[in-house]
Amino acid sequence: MSEEATIDSRRIYDGTIFGVRVDTVTLPNGRTSQREIIEHGNSVVMVPVDNQRRVLLVRQYRKATEKSLLEAPAGGLEEGEAPKDGALRELQEEIGFTAGKLQRMAGFWLTPGFCTEYMHAYIATDLSQSVLAPDYDENIEVVPVPLAQIPDLICSGEIEYAKSIAALLMAIHIYGDSL
């Protein structure tokens, strides 16, 4: 598959969470086109499983959907922060726990058609309480869910955030009964 060569790039928005640029590209057939790109930092998603085989999910309101979503804890990486360090920090901020064992499962692009964000997925076990102050604009409820109920919650539409579905199904597939 041929790449698209960028012949011009113009920044049109700089926000606190993301920026937007418009790239003019040359297509493999020689024609030109424009690509609108959201520049967003990389992120982490964690599947924290406690010693009772419950996944500690979070429920939080998402303005873009106009509703609260049940999801795996996640967050953005800070400048220069290693993904594993970010995962441990986000666990403490979002659910008030840290992990004695944190294992990377995989990584994936969230919306590669228009966004630069790459997400690292971890499974977190051997949990112990360790609280960091949450971000000032987050209102999060921790929801423990038995691991065995996760597939049904996905199929019923109770869990509908793609990053959570991907991470939860990876955890079940990779670790299954060993959790």
55 neighbors 168 (Cβ within 8 angstroms): yes
The dihedral of CA 101, 125, 94, 172: what is its sign? Answer: positive
Domain ranges of the chain: 5-40, 43-178
pLDDT tens string, the chain, 179 residues long: the values are 679 999 999 999 999 999 999 999 999 999 999 999 999 999 999 999 999 999 999 999 999 999 999 999 999 999 999 999 999 999 999 999 999 999 999 999 999 999 999 999 999 999 999 988 777 777 899 999 999 999 999 999 999 999 999 999 999 998 876 76
**How many of the other CB atoms lie within 10 Å of CB of 16?**
5
Domain boundaries 43-178, corresponding CATH code: 3.90.79.10
Q: How many CA atoms lie within 13 A of 70 on its CB side?
A: 15
The pLDDT, as a whole number, for residue 167 is 98
Separation CA 6–CA 130 (nearest Å) = 46
Global model pTM greater than 0.85: yes
The pLDDT, as a whole number, for residue 3 is 92
The pLDDT, as a whole number, for residue 179 is 60
The pLDDT, as a whole number, for residue 48 is 98
Question: In the numeric block, which tokens belong to residue 20?
Answer: 């937007």
